[in-house]
Structure 1
């Protein structure tokens, strides 16, 4: 009787343990619940994100033609200027003296030539002497023209309507010929550009005429439109990138100035645009530059870890150009718990 009473609780315990649900396993390996996204062999248009600074296509560094001491700079940084406006002058004492010397030399050459011509007419001077005198007169005339030309470029005038971007020298400073004194642009003509730097892969995907959208902190909540107008044919030594110019189109807002920061998204029309897949950020693992990994499944039972090539970034997606050609479904949730060949269970 006692043995019967002892066996009864034991049998109840075994019965309750037998009814407890067991975790899903295959050969002691946990089955990971995941969410998937079907993949089709249709590419998404590549969108290349890059940042740069606003500038214009007609920035120019202005300098004096001759050496000298700066007498006066008549503008400040940020000042608007008109085409032909006087911006800076040199001390003309030395330059005026050079012009006067050339003028005196020309007048003497004129007198010498006239005298030689009279002597030649009287058969006193030879034809050779007359020709040499004419050559000296021509040389003196050219020297006078050169001196007058240099004097005219001993002052700096605005080459176009625009603004003064930078003042690179000061009054009283000695400058040599060609030394930049002022930098101006033609912003009044609204030739605004966003100049960006991109990698060699991105450079190859972008073509002249591709469209872009541009954002800048100076105009929060708004976007500007642009078109790729120039691609550099060589790498920029300072930044180590390839330079691309995006011309702003449409009405130009007043809240843009040279040097302001801007960010753009270019819709690339390169050859790779037909083989790009747009996937969520969460599906990409171990992203490093242009490479990364994703988990896919072709049988809905096993996860496969495959390498992929990153073609670009969008606001909430990553663009993949290579590596997913044979994939049927992308795992977009649960990837953190997966390994290559992990068993999976699809959940909604």
Structure 2
């Protein structure tokens, strides 16, 4: 039995030796590279533009109302109607105001008679000088009351202040309306004094000057552009929006298919473009984690690894972002594939784009 035990022991030891002497498997760790597109960098003197949007207006829109309250007798126009200067647009029921005018006339006649009578008595030394002066004052007061009543009767009707259009009707015939309550809204659009009213940020307001040129577009007239100039800048912030209001007046041929309140957009070219310093213009997709004044981008100097660097931002224009600092030592900017990168990631250059001139 002993030879059998020895044989089993030898076989077991041989198996252990074979297991312990199994050659180690060497694994090769391959580093994955991320394909990216890059853009070569160079400073350039770019002409900034300011993109704004707003609504078209004629700057002479007016709310038309009656001077006195009363019952509306008639409204003779509808929304969209063209009107001529002086055209009768609405009237109040004249019964009450006519009665007031007639009452004022009677008061004048009575005051005149009283004054004449006092004059005669004064000549006969029956009336005193004080009575004569009081009679004259009463006559003057009555005349002023008549003048006021006549004025109110004149404005118991609404007439068009200039050639234009009715934008909105806010009352109807038979309705009682208070003095000064708007009944109609009109403008002077027939004079073609159109402008685009826009809002500006603090930075845009300080950068722009009056008479800066602009190009205006509207979705109502696709493919068409109109020239304009910055004609007005507000000197105070609108508390409702926190922005500055500005007007861009259209110059040259006016658009025909346009209406008050229609949306439009404009690109303004500041006059101080000639003093613009050289900076880098980078595409939007290259910028990461921008907070208004700074952000991050990926660059490469060896075309093998990408580095994440912080940059200082200037203006955000219509087609690009301006970088003022942070790219002084960079050779190329990663413009595609940045979302998959971390600092010192290995990259493969798919293509290189040259910045537009």
TM-score normalized with structure 1 length: 0.82
Corresponding residue for residue 180 of structure 1: 182
Check whether the contact 1:39–1:328 (CA below 8 A) recurs between aligned residues: no
Q: Does 1:168 align with 2:152?
A: no
Q: Structure 2: how far apart are the matches of 1:322 and 1:269? A: 20
TM-superposed CA distance for 1:241, in Å, is 2.9
Partner deviation per Cα, 1:111-145 (whole Å, 9 max, x = no partner) = 01111111111111111111111111111111110
Q: Structure 1: how far apart are the matches of 2:327 and 2:135? A: 86
TM-superposed CA distance for 1:334, in Å, is 4.1
Q: Structure 2: how far apart are the matches of 1:182 and 1:321? A: 51
Q: Does 1:39 align with 2:39?
A: no
Corresponding residue for residue 241 of structure 1: 243
Higher deviation after alignment, 281-290 or 69-78: 281-290
Corresponding residue for residue 138 of structure 2: 136
TM-superposed CA distance for 1:343, in Å, is 6.1
Corresponding residue for residue 303 of structure 1: 307
Q: Does 1:101 align with 2:108?
A: no
Q: Does 1:313 align with 2:289?
A: no
RMSD over equivalenced CA pairs, Å: 2.8
Question: 271, 279, 283: which one pairs with 2:282?
Answer: 279
TM-superposed CA distance for 1:288, in Å, is 5.4
Change (3 A) 1:121 1:279: same
Alignment of 1:1-348 (within 5 A): 34-40=37-43, 42-269=44-271, 273-274=276-277, 277-287=280-290, 292-296=295-299, 303-309=307-313, 311-314=315-318, 317-320=319-322, 322-324=324-326, 326=328, 328-329=330-331, 330-342=333-345, 348=352
Change (3 A) 1:182 1:212: same
Check whether the contact 1:79–1:164 (CA below 8 A) recurs between aligned residues: yes
Larger radius of gyration between Structure 1 and Structure 2:
2
Q: Structure 1: 5+ residue runs without aligned partners? A: 1-19
Q: Structure 1: how far apart are the matches of 2:237 and 2:107? A: 52
Q: Structure 1: how far apart are the matches of 2:301 and 2:60? A: 56
TM-superposed CA distance for 1:33, in Å, is 5.5
- Indicate the SS of the match to 1:286: coil
Q: Structure 2: 5+ residue runs without aligned partners? A: 1-27, 353-357
TM-superposed CA distance for 1:104, in Å, is 0.6
Check whether the contact 2:229–2:251 (CA below 8 A) recurs between aligned residues: yes
Check whether the contact 1:32–1:337 (CA below 8 A) recurs between aligned residues: no
Higher deviation after alignment, 180-189 or 230-239: 230-239
TM-superposed CA distance for 1:205, in Å, is 2.3
TM-superposed CA distance for 1:283, in Å, is 1.9
Q: Structure 1: how far apart are the matches of 2:67 and 2:90? A: 12
Aligned residues: 322
Check whether the contact 1:36–1:333 (CA below 8 A) recurs between aligned residues: no
- Indicate the SS of the match to 1:208: coil
Higher deviation after alignment, 156-165 or 228-237: 228-237
Change (3 A) 1:249 1:146: same
Q: Structure 2: how far apart are the matches of 1:177 and 1:270? A: 50
TM-superposed CA distance for 1:319, in Å, is 3.2
Change (3 A) 1:180 1:276: farther
Q: Structure 2: how far apart are the matches of 1:228 and 1:166? A: 28
